[in-house]
Homo-oligomer: A and B are copies of this chain.
Amino acid sequence: MSAATGTPLSEQSILSTLDDAGDTAGATAVRLMMAAADAFSDKGFHATTTRDIASRAGLSPAGVYVHFTSKEDLLFELSRRGHQRARDLLVAAAEKSDSPTEALRSIIGGFSKWHAEHHQLGRIVQYEFRHLTPEHREAVLNLRREIDKVVRGVLTEGVERGEFEVDDVHATALALLSMAVDVARWYSPEIRRTPDDIARTNGDLAVRLVARR
> Complex Cα distance A167/B171, Å?
24
A44 close to B201 (CB less than 8 A):
no
Any chain B CB within 8 A of the CB of A27? Answer: no
Q: How many residues of A contact B (CB 8 A)?
A: 32
User: Which of chain B's residues have a CB closer than 8 A to the CB of A186?
Assistant: 174, 178
How many monomers of this chain does the complex have? 2
Which residues of chain B are within 8 angstroms of A193 by Cβ–Cβ distance?
A: 171
Chain B contacts for A126, CB-based, 8 A: 185
Whether the pair B202, A175 counts as a contact (CB closer than 8 A) is yes
In the complex, A122→B168 CA distance in Å?
25
Q: Do B171 and A175 touch across chains, with their CB atoms under 8 A apart?
A: no
Judging by beta carbons under 8 Å apart, are B130 and A168 in contact?
no
For residue A204, which residues in chain B have a CB less than 8 angstroms away from its CB?
167
Give the dominant DSSP class at A's interface: helix
Which B residues lie within 8 Å of A167 (CB)? Answer: 201, 204
**Is B131 a contact of A201 with CB atoms below 8 Å?**
no
CA distance A205 to B182 in the complex (A): 17
Binding site for B on A (CB under 8 A): 43-47, 126-127, 130-131, 167-168, 171-172, 174-175, 177-179, 181-183, 185-186, 193, 198, 201-202, 204-205, 208-209, 213
Give me 8 A-to-B residue pairs in the complex whose CB atoms sit less than 8 angstroms apart, sorted by A's number: A44-B130, A171-B198, A171-B202, A175-B201, A178-B185, A179-B179, A181-B182, A208-B209
Nearest 10 interchain pairs by C-beta:
A178-B182, A46-B46, A171-B201, A46-B47, A175-B179, A178-B179, A213-B213, A209-B209, A127-B127, A178-B178
Given contacts A46-B46, A47-B131, A168-B201, 15 further A-B contacts (CB under 8 A): A44-B44, A44-B46, A44-B130, A44-B131, A45-B46, A167-B204, A171-B193, A172-B201, A172-B205, A178-B178, A178-B185, A179-B179, A181-B182, A209-B209, A213-B213
